């Protein structure tokens, strides 16, 4: 191993969360192309780009979700290598993906969905703490999860992630279909999650809403990193938003 490569790996491992030269495929389709970025502990990061830019695929690769297939690259969380981990190992290490469809388990109540999250791995937030964050869940804890409104299901999906020993929260389109008042509740909750020291990556088509919440922005364009910087830079750069986000 070359000295330069050793130094790169050491730097990646010493950063709280680091993705280095990630390359991922769906079959022969090259989706995530040499993606690299670093995130500090407790940051909220907006991962943005046009449709098809590779945002969801990047989240799934980080979560070790099986697809896309990660062929080369490294993923480090708090000094631990995640690129060789299976999906359950990544989850047990603290990486939790909340997908766009939320994946609430049919036939189970709100509380039973939370119970299911705690079957394996170290426990995270108590139910009482989750209910303080999302009072609506406490009111509906005996209600079947799939009968909740879209916003309440999003709260449950985030609550389920918090019930684990969560270190990195990956949110795919958390505001999809939500009324502004419900989106505000989710934003407030995510700020509390950040205050608790949990690192969050948000993929969101409502780029302005995500940027106003985020500390850092990463923009993907056709699977490659086109920009990394502060969220404020993107909000203040009309040309950048036009070129890569069409806003």
pLDDT in tens, 28-40: 999 999 999 999 9
Alpha-carbon gap, residue 154 to 29, rounded angstroms: 31
Give the pLDDT confidence score for residue 11 in this predicted structure: 53
Give the pLDDT confidence score for residue 119 in this predicted structure: 79
DSSP string, 116-147: HHTSSS-B-S-HHHHHHH-HHHHHTTTSBGGG
Task: Pick the closest to residue 58 from 68, 49, 66 (CA basis).
Answer: 68
Alpha-carbon gap, residue 55 to 97, rounded angstroms: 13
What share of the chain has pLDDT > 90, as a percent?
89
Give the pLDDT confidence score for residue 123 in this predicted structure: 81
Give the pLDDT confidence score for residue 44 in this predicted structure: 98
pLDDT in tens, 4-30: 445 555 556 679 999 999 999 999 999
Give the pLDDT confidence score for residue 1 in this predicted structure: 53
pTM for the full predicted model: 0.93
Domains by residue range for the chain, with CATH: 40-66+92-245 (3.40.50.300)
pLDDT in tens, 213-246: 999 999 999 999 999 999 999 999 999 999 999 8
Binned at pLDDT 50, 70 and 90, residue 118 comes out as: confident
Alpha-carbon gap, residue 139 to 185, rounded angstroms: 15
Alpha-carbon gap, residue 95 to 81, rounded angstroms: 12
Give the pLDDT confidence score for residue 5 in this predicted structure: 47
pLDDT in tens, 43-92: 999 999 999 999 999 999 999 999 999 999 999 999 999 999 999 999 99
10 SS3 class: helix
* pLDDT of residue 146 exceeding 70: yes
Mean pLDDT, rounded, for 134-154: 97
Alpha-carbon gap, residue 227 to 221, rounded angstroms: 9
What share of the chain has pLDDT > 70, as a percent?
94
């Amino acid at each position: 191993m070359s000295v330069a490569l050793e130094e790169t790996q050491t730097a990646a491992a010493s950063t709280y969360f680091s993705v280095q030269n990630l390359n991922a495929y769906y079959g022969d389709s090259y989706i995530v192309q040499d993606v690299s970025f670093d995130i500090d502990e407790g940051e909220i990061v907006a991962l943005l780009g046009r449709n098809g830019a590779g945002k969801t695929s990047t989240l799934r690769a980080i979560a070790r979700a099986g697809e896309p297939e990660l062929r080369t690259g490294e993923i480090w969380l708090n000094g631990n290598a995640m690129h060789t981990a299976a999906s359950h190992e990544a989850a047990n290490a603290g990486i939790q993906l909340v997908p766009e469809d939320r994946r609430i388990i049919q036939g189970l109540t709100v509380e039973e969905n939370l119970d299911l999250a705690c079957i394996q791995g170290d426990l995270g937030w108590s139910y009482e703490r989750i209910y303080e964050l999302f009072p609506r869940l406490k009111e509906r804890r005996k209600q079947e999860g799939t009968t909740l409104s879209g916003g309440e299901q999003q709260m449950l999906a985030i609550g389920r992630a918090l019930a684990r020993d969560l270190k990195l929260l990956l949110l795919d389109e958390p505001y999809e279909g939500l009324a502004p008042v419900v989106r505000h509740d989710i934003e407030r909750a995510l700020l509390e999650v950040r205050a608790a020291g949990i690192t969050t990556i948000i993929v969101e088509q409502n780029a302005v809403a995500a940027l106003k919440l985020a500390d850092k922005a990463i923009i993907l364009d056709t699977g490659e990193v086109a920009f990394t910087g502060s969220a404020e830079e993107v909000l203040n750069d009309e040309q950048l938003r036009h070129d890569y986000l069409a806003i």
